[in-house]
Structure 1
């Protein structure tokens, strides 16, 4: 049983729109709210899902869409989708551009094509003055370099997995770092050290549901409700109260994504 948060929480990264939740999405939202997770930022993964994501977020309070082209779904992307993204950003005014980024862990994803889509989304984020939701797997240095080259950007690197030095470069550039299930594993020593020592004003909580289940729930479908358990681990690692972490991470998400009170 997940212990409810002492203060309202924001899940800064869930994929509540995907097929894994088609049979019980309303119940998943209800369980999240019962655990104190009252807001969710839901980044898109490909052009095909944008319309359904928009409809979902219009239907439920506390759900906030972002639109983008995820690098792991590269085979689904087409060059004209960047123009479609510009039109969607202008029409929908979402909370962010994303999920976008680079993934050099999956070996059959063409790096040059990934870079073209990522660079295009960086430019759109600057043009529309929106934050970015960035996926960076085995690509943190290149993500930092490309963000710096465009300039004038802000956002979050979600499910952060880089070094402390890379993390410091990101928050000095105004980027937050998102942490979820991986921080609950005792073997994730480097990650847990970053969470323990980083400035609280750049820390966000996330589920990445339905992926990245917590250590206590290996093999299960992840849900936004479990952000309340991530909160417990972060508070313990930092030696701070659950109330302090809950309030700070909610404020951080509100500031980054311009979420309403």
Structure 2
């Protein structure tokens, strides 16, 4: 089986056919999905989807694009919301200096709030990092020194130093359809350097559809294309990569329950 560790099933792209999208994922061997929160104030909609499907879990958190809109969200609030049995992660939170949609100070403040919640709950922090490698490494190193917390660098598209430092700090690294793009040689090299026991796969659907689906709306069923490329760069079979990334998922997302064998 495969797990799509990061998708956005609450987005309007899926509203008209969510049942079919999830059915196609199951048919493709993707037995679990985590639909990721981008705004705590819209968390009820995310949670409702997770509650509606046995194979869907969710996170709670604020995307860095929206950090300045939700600075009033406290770690206490995140911890409380994360008590729901379907909530298996905190985030996504982080730093995005590519779009810079929120002031950088607000992004950093939001990230630290989410780190505190991850530390207290011991649920994994889903980290969004784009064009912010130095600041991200500095914050993660400082915060990890104040108390360990589980985390993963999602949809990895940063430089090799952030991947290396993340692994040193105990983080996992998740790869999306970007890994399959023709011009992603450096990302594939970085993926090859990440230990097998720290790898996850995701779609970030509806974005970033992998080859050969590029240009289409992405969906969880396409997780297998990224897993296949990840297997190739590590020189293992697709079956072995599926097994490994699934084991890694349950180790990191320890609150998620394995589906019953069919």
TM-score (norm 1): 0.92
Question: Residues of 1 paired with 2:227 and 2:53: CA distance?
Answer: 24
Using the TM superposition, give the Cα deviation of residue 47 of structure 1 relative to its aligned residue in structure 2, in angstroms: 1.9
**How big is each residue's C-alpha offset from its partner over 1:127-178, in whole Å with a ceiling of 9 and x where there is no partner?**
2222100000011232222122222122110011122232111112111111
Segments of structure 1 that go 5 or more residues without pairing to the other structure are 1-7
Question: Residues of 2 paired with 1:236 and 1:31: CA distance?
Answer: 24
Report the 3-state secondary structure (helix = DSSP H, G, I; strand = E; otherwise coil) of the residue aligned with 1:12: strand
From the superposition, tell whether residues 31 and 115 of structure 1 become closer, same or farther in structure 2 (CA, over 3 Å). Answer: same
Report the 3-state secondary structure (helix = DSSP H, G, I; strand = E; otherwise coil) of the residue aligned with 1:24: helix
- Is it true that 1:9 corresponds to 2:9 in the alignment? no
| 1:23-172 superposed matches below 5 A | 23-74=16-67, 76-80=69-73, 83-91=76-84, 94-151=87-144, 152-172=148-168
Structure 2 match to 1:197: 193
**How big is each residue's C-alpha offset from its partner over 1:6-61, in whole Å with a ceiling of 9 and x where there is no partner?**
xx001111111211110000000000000000001121000232112112111111
Question: Residues of 2 paired with 1:74 and 1:98: CA distance?
Answer: 11
Report the 3-state secondary structure (helix = DSSP H, G, I; strand = E; otherwise coil) of the residue aligned with 2:100: coil
In 1, are the aligned partners of 2:26 and 2:221 still within 8 Å (CA)? Answer: yes
- Counterpart of 1:213 (choices 204, 209, 214) is 209
Question: Residues of 1 paired with 2:63 and 2:28: CA distance?
Answer: 29
Report the 3-state secondary structure (helix = DSSP H, G, I; strand = E; otherwise coil) of the residue aligned with 2:7: coil
Report the 3-state secondary structure (helix = DSSP H, G, I; strand = E; otherwise coil) of the residue aligned with 1:101: strand
Equivalent residue pairs, number = 254
Question: Which range is displaced more, 211-220 or 115-124?
Answer: 211-220
Using the TM superposition, give the Cα deviation of residue 81 of structure 1 relative to its aligned residue in structure 2, in angstroms: 5.8
Segments of structure 2 that go 5 or more residues without pairing to the other structure are none
In 2, are the aligned partners of 1:47 and 1:81 still within 8 Å (CA)? Answer: no
In 2, are the aligned partners of 1:14 and 1:40 still within 8 Å (CA)? Answer: yes
Using the TM superposition, give the Cα deviation of residue 91 of structure 1 relative to its aligned residue in structure 2, in angstroms: 4.8
From the superposition, tell whether residues 93 and 180 of structure 1 become closer, same or farther in structure 2 (CA, over 3 Å). Answer: closer
From the superposition, tell whether residues 33 and 91 of structure 1 become closer, same or farther in structure 2 (CA, over 3 Å). Answer: closer
In 1, are the aligned partners of 2:7 and 2:33 still within 8 Å (CA)? Answer: yes
Structure 2 match to 1:3: none
In 1, are the aligned partners of 2:157 and 2:178 still within 8 Å (CA)? Answer: no
Question: Which range is displaced more, 102-111 or 175-184?
Answer: 102-111
In 1, are the aligned partners of 2:71 and 2:109 still within 8 Å (CA)? Answer: no
- RMSD between aligned alpha carbons? 1.6
Question: Residues of 2 paired with 1:166 and 1:133: CA distance?
Answer: 15
From the superposition, tell whether residues 173 and 66 of structure 1 become closer, same or farther in structure 2 (CA, over 3 Å). Answer: same
